[in-house]
């Protein structure tokens, strides 16, 4: 037995070359696997759990690579090269310019498809995510949400106005109902945006989860909302449109012009809430070229051809029921105060053919009557104009400046 054992041992030979080759192959396989994994990850979602939305502006001159760099800089994709490769692999489509909403939960495929379809539509998402559009009503979104959470659509709509559930939510999340209107529904407090909904036991459980997320995301807003008497629903509506950054910018704009609006009231009798709300509405929160560059908050046109007092810009107007783009000459002001003062004088002095044109606006004792008078006295031709002004005033508690 001993001799046989030794014989077997003596026949065992080492194969250093074969072992080295196997080791090299193993390293190559691991390296290839790592490369494929990293390459695949580059096309996948940057963060499947980050459902935040970020605005990205795409211009007509942007290439797909330039768009990719913008997305990479904002932390929405791993690297611009993956979007560029995807476009080359599947055939570059025409990219439409505009302002998009993107999220880290979107894959390169999602991002590319969204760029191809253009802005204005909802974000392109995988089937595991649900998008809630803040511009839609409870009835319009109920079907999508109910299907995703596997609950009854009609039960979900009913849950939004269920008195017992509202009482329960007020008790659990009292800050959510800060400065709330008396007719508020729970849907008014549902954050628009991207959700990864799970199967729920009931529609009420779904609403509880939805408001839980809202309360969590509103944490950084509560102090400013309380200080300025602004309802939480106002901040909720901005979730898709810049979030906290945009909320702070808009509030800063109000604070910038509010004191001068109050000063104008003492001189001309214009309600500050009306002056502020019209400036917001006409300038799109000081985001228009006319307001931000030329201090023209109210879209005032001019016949003065002096380059320092007027500027020609494109504007959209409705003619025979169709929207057309035309060039028009607008007034240029040295400061925003000059613009606000000119607006106040126009309301007080009327126009060349009727000095009392806006007398009802001046004589109104509250913002609702004044807003309606802007239409009745032909300051605005849009019948929805008074409602838009009133909505701005109430959403941002501008009536506080009338006191």
The per-residue b/e assignment along 283-317, b for 16 or more CB within 10 angstroms, e otherwise, is bebbebebbeebbbbbbbeeeeeeeeebbeeeeee
Same-domain pairing of 248 and 284: yes
Q: How many residues does the chain have?
A: 403
CATH number of the CATH domain containing 263: 1.10.530.10
- Residue where a domain stops, chosen among 228, 253, 272: 228
Domain assignment present for 24: no
Quick one: pLDDT at residue 22? 60
At 284 the three-state DSSP class reads coil
CB 258 within 8 A of CB 272: yes
- CB under 8 Å to 258, separation ≥6 — which residues? 272, 276, 401
Q: Is the dihedral of CA 279, 281, 285, 290 positive or negative?
A: negative
What is the H or E stretch that residue 131 is in?
strand 130-132
Quick one: pLDDT at residue 95? 81
Mean pLDDT taken over the chain:
88
Distance CA 271, CA 390 (A): 13
- Residue where a domain stops, chosen among 174, 204, 228: 228
Domain assignment present for 10: no
Residue with structure tokens 């080759």? Answer: 21
Distance CA 280, CA 376 (A): 20
Quick one: pLDDT at residue 295? 94
Residue with structure tokens 């511009």? Answer: 135
Number of domains making up the chain: 3
Same-domain pairing of 112 and 50: yes
Domain assignment present for 188: yes
Distance CA 261, CA 395 (A): 18
Domain assignment present for 11: no
Same-domain pairing of 355 and 262: yes
Domain assignment present for 343: yes
Hey, what are 310's tokens? Answer: 């007027």
pLDDT per residue as tens digits for the range 258-306: 999 999 999 999 999 999 999 999 999 999 999 999 999 998 888 877 7
Same-domain pairing of 352 and 374: yes
**CA torsion 322→326→332→337, rounded to 10°?**
10
Same-domain pairing of 186 and 106: no
Residue with structure tokens 């000081």? Answer: 286
Same-domain pairing of 49 and 109: yes
At 41 the three-state DSSP class reads helix
Distance CA 400, CA 226 (A): 13
Domain assignment present for 193: yes
Same-domain pairing of 186 and 251: no
- CB under 8 Å to 290, separation ≥6 — which residues? 283, 296, 299, 311, 313, 330
Low-confidence ranges of the chain (pLDDT < 70): 1-16, 18-40, 91-93, 307, 317-319, 321
Phi, psi of 205 (to 5 degrees): -65, -35
Same-domain pairing of 48 and 79: yes
User: What range defines the domain where residue 71 resides?
Assistant: 35-126
Parallel, antiparallel, or unpaired for β 310-319 and 322-331?
A: antiparallel
Same-domain pairing of 258 and 349: yes
Closest CA relative to residue 155, chosen from 221, 220, 203: 203
**CA torsion 260→256→314→95, rounded to 10°?**
-170
At 296 the three-state DSSP class reads coil
- Residue where a domain stops, chosen among 228, 258, 273: 228
At 316 the three-state DSSP class reads strand
Distance CA 155, CA 85 (A): 46
Domain assignment present for 161: yes
Domain assignment present for 18: no
Quick one: pLDDT at residue 328? 87
Parallel, antiparallel, or unpaired for β 54-58 and 322-331?
A: unpaired
Same-domain pairing of 224 and 261: no
Quick one: pLDDT at residue 136? 92
CATH number of the CATH domain containing 89: 3.30.1490.480
Same-domain pairing of 57 and 156: no
Q: How many CB atoms lie within 10 A of CB 100?
A: 23
Same-domain pairing of 248 and 376: yes
């Amino acid at each position: 037995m001993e001799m046989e054992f030794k014989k077997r041992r003596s026949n065992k030979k080492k194969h250093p070359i074969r072992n080295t080759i196997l080791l090299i192959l193993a390293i190559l396989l691991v390296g290839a696997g790592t490369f494929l994994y990293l390459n695949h990850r580059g096309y996948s979602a940057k963060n499947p759990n980050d459902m935040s939305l970020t605005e990205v502006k795409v211009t007509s001159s942007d290439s797909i690579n330039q768009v990719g760099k913008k997305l990479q800089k904002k932390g929405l994709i791993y690297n611009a090269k993956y979007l560029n490769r995807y476009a080359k692999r599947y055939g570059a489509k025409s990219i439409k310019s505009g302002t998009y909403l993107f999220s880290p939960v979107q894959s390169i495929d999602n991002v590319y498809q969204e760029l191809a379809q253009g802005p204005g539509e909802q974000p392109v998402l995988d089937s595991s995510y649900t998008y809630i559009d803040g511009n839609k009503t409870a009835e319009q979104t109920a079907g999508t949400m109910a299907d995703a959470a596997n609950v009854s659509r009609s039960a979900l709509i009913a849950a939004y106005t269920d008195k017992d559930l509202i009482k329960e939510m007020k008790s659990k999340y009292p800050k959510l109902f800060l400065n709330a209107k008396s007719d508020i529904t729970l849907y008014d407090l549902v954050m628009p945006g991207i959700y990864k909904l799970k199967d729920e036991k009931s529609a009420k459980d779904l609403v509880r989860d939805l408001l839980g997320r809202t309360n969590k995301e509103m944490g950084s807003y509560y102090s400013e909302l309380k200080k300025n008497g602004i309802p939480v629903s106002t901040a909720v509506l901005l979730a898709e449109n810049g979030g906290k950054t945009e909320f702070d910018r808009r509030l800063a704009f109000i604070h910038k012009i509010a004191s001068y609006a109050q000063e104008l009231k003492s001189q001309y009798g214009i309600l500050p809430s009306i002056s502020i709300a019209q400036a917001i509405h006409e300038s799109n929160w000081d985001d228009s070229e006319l307001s931000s560059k030329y201090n023209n908050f109210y879209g005032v046109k001019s016949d003065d051809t002096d380059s320092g007092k007027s500027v020609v810009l494109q504007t959209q107007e409705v003619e025979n029921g169709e929207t057309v783009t035309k060039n028009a000459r607008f007034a240029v002001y040295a400061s925003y105060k000059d613009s606000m003062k000119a607006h106040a004088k126009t309301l007080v002095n009327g126009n060349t053919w009727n000095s009392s044109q806006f007398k009802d606006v001046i004589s109104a004792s509250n913002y609702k009557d004044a807003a309606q008078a802007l239409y009745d006295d032909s300051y605005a031709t849009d019948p929805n104009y008074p409602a838009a002004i009133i909505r701005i005033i109430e959403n941002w508690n501008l009536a506080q400046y009338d006191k």
